[in-house]
Amino acid sequence: MKKIVIACAVLLAGVLSSCGDTNYCYEVTETINIAGISTTVTEYLWATSNEIDAAIAELEQEIVEEYGLSKDALKVTYKKTNKSEADCDLME
């Protein structure tokens, strides 16, 4: 019985962790605020939520290292849309 419970727990953990591996179309909004001037760019990406999170972390690092800005100067938000992959690619 104990082995069945452990197997079910491992299976459930695998299912829940794979939820971030499903591709969707995401609307990504990037806002950079420098000296009171704000610029916003919106783009659509076909990716997993894990890929979006990694891309945001990479973008923040790039802003800090290459441009010498603080992470506070950049605000990135994203939300899942109902667009298909083809529609999402057309939005780029």
Print pLDDT tens along the chain (92 aa): 333 333 333 444 444 444 557 899 999 999 988 888 999 999 999 999 899 999 888 888 888 888 888 888 889 999 999 999 888 877 65
Domain membership flag for residue 11: no
The reply to whether 12 falls in a domain is no
Q: Which domain holds residue 38?
A: 21-90
Q: Within a domain: residue 62? A: yes
Q: How far apart are CA 23 and CA 20, in angstroms?
A: 8
Report, in angstroms and rounded to the nearest whole number, the Rg of the chain calculated over CA atoms: 18
For 76, the token pair is: 């990135």
We report the CATH number of the domain holding residue 81 as: 3.10.20
Q: What is the pLDDT of residue 20?
A: 55
pTM of this structure: 0.68
Give 55-60 contacts, CB < 8 A, sequence gap 24+.
59/30
Q: What is the pLDDT of residue 92?
A: 55
Give me the pLDDT at residue 35, please.
87
Distances (CA, A) of 71 to 16, 49, 92: 31, 21, 25
Within-domain flag for 59: yes
Our count of domains for the chain comes to 1
Residue 81 falls within a domain, yes or no?
yes
pLDDT for residue 48: 93
